[in-house]
């Protein structure tokens, strides 16, 4: 027992020494680990500070780079706001506007020259560090493109960025289809043989005419034009009036009307139309929009650059970029007002000249008007037997232009009276029925009407009156028209739309705008059904010298960044 106790005592002593040494050993290891962690964290902290110091200038530069673009946009907004406050602001350089001061200001009365220092306007008053802008306004394309080309530069710190914007009010080319009044043109002798019945229908002109939503009623006996099943409009549509819809007309991008009832909630398409039809809106809605007005500026076209012809004129466009012109009333007159090659007329023959690209072709009235004889206009027009020669608006001597062919170039054709389309009007490189593409654009602007030729002859009479009609041209039942159409006083319509056999489908690729609704057919009996499709290129460009809205606001149409000027 004594020996056992001795060994136990020895064991306890050894155990105490071992445990003592373990405690001392753990304390040393913990200290080493703490010191190591401190070193590692110090290194990480130093690396973080070093990285932050290295990237701070780049981050600031990136921030300034983005802010400079925002400052350039502030310049655009500043110029647009000044235009909307003063519609003629684009006409002169504003000497009080520091953002315009500089070497590229152009002609001015401010004594600014090519050595004038650039003026910078603060985005935020009294805080140049928040960004500044400078802009140059080029109004040289205001008539040809309907826009001011604004170049705006923004700067923040050492960063500068420049954007170029076309600022415009827009016009009828914003829409595939636009009409002011949805009843028939009061000058249409087919629907009004004795003239329009009263002022509500436009008998005394558009100033006294009424919209349906503003008091025109069935009691006025105005001829109301309707959309029917089979009509398709693929593009934005605007009616100042209330549209008359029977059947299932397809408005594939919806439509807007200025009829106040269309504001009614909850929404119902019945509040945005009259008639019993249920239009196919392709998942969209009919909406309310304010009235949009176009100017009656037909007389302005005589002052625009390009070719000017007199009296009844025939033009056939050639795919090579030329046009063949017949214009007997232009003999002995000057056919160009700016040096364009427009031809010299010496008799009844034709001339072939280049299409005046980015300019206009204008046809004005001659001194007197008489009924045309067969072939008098030129190129075989008018044709034998056509009863339309009896309508005074088509008499020779009027400022009427007869057109067809393939246009290569950017040109607007304008007339002091009517434009008569005698066949397909196509664009260079675009086959009939294809989507418009390329750079060629055609505008048609008539003081009165744009008309599709439809020659007919009488085939039976009774008691001295014709009882049956036949189409003279039976070679085609489909018509293609690639153009932006604007009638400043009248309509877009088809000659003798109520006579002869049905013609098929009228395909318009572009835009249509008219004062009163023109008639192109009588449903499935005569004339055409409609297939109207928007030329999406018109969102970014209009034909040369095309009319713009008189009551719309200015806004940026297209924007692109360019190399900084300053």
Dihedral sign, Cα of residue 324, residue 326, residue 327, residue 333: positive
Please state the φ and ψ torsions of residue 200, each to the nearest 5 degrees: -60, -30
Based on DSSP, count helices (H) and strands (E) in the chain, helices before strands. 1, 27
The C-alpha atoms of residue 157 and residue 116 are separated, in whole angstroms, by 22
- The secondary structure element, H or E, covering residue 461 is strand 456-462
Question: How far is Cα 235 from Cα 361, in angstroms, rounded to an integer?
Answer: 28
Contacts of 18 (CB under 8 A, 6+ apart): none
Per-residue pLDDT reduced to its tens digit, 207-244:
999 999 999 999 999 999 999 898 999 999 999 999 99
pTM for the whole structure = 0.80
Cβ contact 154:94 at 8 Å: no
Contact 74, 120 (CB under 8 A): no
The per-residue pLDDT for 459 is 93
User: Could you read off the pLDDT tens digit of each residue along the chain, which spans 566 residues?
Assistant: 444 454 445 455 545 554 444 445 555 677 777 676 777 676 676 666 665 555 555 556 678 999 999 999 999 999 999 999 998 899 999 999 999 999 999 999 999 999 999 999 999 988 999 999 999 999 988 877 778 999 999 999 999 999 999 998 888 999 999 999 999 999 988 889 899 999 999 999 999 999 999 999 999 999 999 998 989 999 999 999 999 999 899 999 999 999 999 999 999 999 999 999 999 999 999 999 999 998 877 778 899 999 999 999 999 999 999 999 999 999 999 999 999 999 999 888 999 999 999 999 999 999 999 999 999 999 999 999 999 999 999 999 999 999 999 999 999 999 999 999 999 999 999 999 999 999 999 999 999 999 999 999 999 999 888 999 999 987 778 999 999 999 989 999 999 999 999 898 999 999 999 999 999 988 778 999 899 999 999 988 889 999 888 877 889 877 899 998 88
ω into 266 cis (within 30 of 0) = yes
**Alpha carbon 222 to its chain's center:** 32
> What pLDDT score does 365 carry?
96
Quote the pLDDT of residue 6: 44
Task: Supply the pLDDT for residue 299.
Answer: 78
Q: Is 44 helix (H, G, I), strand (E, B) or coil?
A: helix
Is the distance from CB of 428 to CB of 398 less than 8 angstroms? no
Q: Quick check: 249 and 278 in contact, CB under 8 A?
A: no
Instruction: Name the E strands within 114-227.
Output: 121-122, 132-138, 148-156, 159-168, 177-184
Residues in the chain, total = 566
Q: Specify the pLDDT at position 523.
A: 73
Q: How high is the pLDDT of residue 60?
A: 61
**What residue ranges in 311-393 does DSSP mark as E strands?**
313-318, 322-326, 350-354, 359-364
Joined together, the tokens standing for residue 295 give 């100017």
* CA–CA distance, 534 with 244 (Å, rounded to integer): 21
In contact, 304 and 545? CB cutoff 8 Å: yes
* Strand 286-288 with 350-354, pairing: unpaired
Element (H, E) at 34: helix 2-85
How many angstroms separate the CA atoms of 6 and 9, rounded? Answer: 5
d(CA 455, CA 386): 5
Helix or strand or coil: residue 378?
Answer: strand
User: Edge-to-edge strand order for the sheet containing 121-122?
Assistant: 121-122, 132-138, 148-156, 159-168, 555-562
Note the pLDDT of residue 538.
Answer: 92
Phi, psi of 328 (to 5 degrees): -65, -30
Instruction: List 309's β-bridge partners, or say none.
Output: 363
Cβ atoms 118, 102 nearer than 8 A? yes
Beta carbons of 384 and 403 less than 8 angstroms apart: no
Q: Which residues pair with 30 in a beta bridge?
A: none
| pLDDT tens readout for residues 529-563 | 899 999 999 988 889 999 888 877 889 877 899 99
Q: Which of 257, 249, 256 is nearest to 233 (CA)?
A: 249
């Amino acid at each position: 027992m004594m020996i056992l106790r001795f060994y136990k005592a020895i064991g306890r002593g050894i155990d105490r020494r071992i445990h003592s040494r373990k405690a001392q050993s753990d304390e040393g290891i913990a200290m080493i680990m703490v010191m190591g962690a401190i070193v590692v964290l110090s290194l990480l902290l130093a690396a973080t500070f070093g990285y932050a110091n290295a990237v701070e200038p780049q981050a600031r530069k990136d921030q300034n780079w983005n802010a400079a673009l925002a400052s350039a946009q502030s310049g655009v907004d500043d110029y647009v706001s000044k235009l909307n406050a003063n519609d003629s602001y684009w006409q002169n350089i504003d000497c009080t506007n520091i953002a315009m001061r500089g070497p590229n200001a152009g002609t001015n009365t401010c004594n600014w020259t090519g050595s004038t220092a650039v003026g910078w306007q603060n985005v935020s008053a009294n805080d140049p560090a928040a960004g500044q802008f400078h802009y140059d306004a080029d109004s040289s394309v205001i008539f040809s493109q309907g826009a001011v080309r604004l170049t705006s530069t923004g700067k923040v710190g050492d960063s500068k960025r420049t954007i170029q914007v076309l600022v415009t009010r827009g016009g009828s080319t914003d829409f595939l289809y636009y009409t002011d009044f949805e009843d028939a043109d009061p000058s249409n002798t087919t629907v009004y043989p004795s003239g329009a019945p009263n002022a509500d229908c436009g008998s005394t002109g558009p100033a006294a005419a009424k919209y349906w939503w503003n008091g025109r009623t069935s009691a006025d006996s105005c001829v109301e034009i309707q959309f029917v099943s089979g009509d398709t409009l693929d593009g934005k549509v605007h009616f100042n009036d209330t549209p008359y819809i029977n059947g299932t007309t397809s408005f594939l991008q919806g439509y807007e009307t200025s009829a106040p009832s269309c504001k009614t909630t909850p929404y119902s398409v019945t509040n945005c139309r009259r008639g019993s039809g249920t239009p196919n809106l392709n998942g969209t809605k009919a909406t309310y929009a304010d009235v949009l007005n176009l100017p009656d500026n037909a007389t302005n076209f005589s002052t625009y650059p390009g070719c000017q012809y007199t009296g009844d004129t025939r033009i056939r466009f050639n795919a090579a970029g030329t046009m063949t012109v017949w214009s007997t009333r232009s003999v002995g007159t000057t056919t160009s007002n700016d040096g364009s090659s427009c031809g010299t007329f010496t008799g009844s023959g034709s001339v072939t000249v280049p299409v005046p690209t980015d300019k206009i072709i204008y046809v004005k009235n001659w001194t007197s008007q008489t009924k045309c004889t067969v072939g008098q206009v030129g190129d075989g027009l008018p044709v034998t037997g056509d009863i339309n020669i009896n309508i005074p608006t088509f008499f020779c001597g009027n400022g009427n232009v007869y057109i067809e062919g393939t246009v290569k170039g950017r040109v607007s054709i304008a007339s002091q009276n009517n434009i008569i389309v005698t066949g397909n009007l196509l664009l260079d490189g675009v086959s009939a029925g294809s989507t418009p593409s390329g750079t060629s654009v055609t505008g048609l602007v008539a003081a009165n009407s744009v008309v599709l030729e439809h020659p007919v002859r009488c085939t039976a009479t009774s008691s001295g009156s014709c009882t049956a009609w036949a189409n003279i041209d039976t070679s085609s039942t489909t018509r293609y028209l690639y153009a932006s159409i604007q009638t400043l006083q009248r309509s877009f319509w088809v000659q003798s739309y109520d006579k002869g056999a049905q013609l098929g489908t009228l395909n318009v690729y572009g835009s249509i705008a008219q004062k009163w609704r023109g008639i192109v057919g009588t449903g499935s009996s005569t004339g055409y059904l409609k297939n109207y499709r928007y030329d999406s290129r018109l969102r970014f460009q209009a034909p040369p010298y095309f009319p713009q809205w008189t009551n719309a606001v200015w806004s940026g149409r297209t924007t692109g960044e360019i190399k900084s000027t300053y």
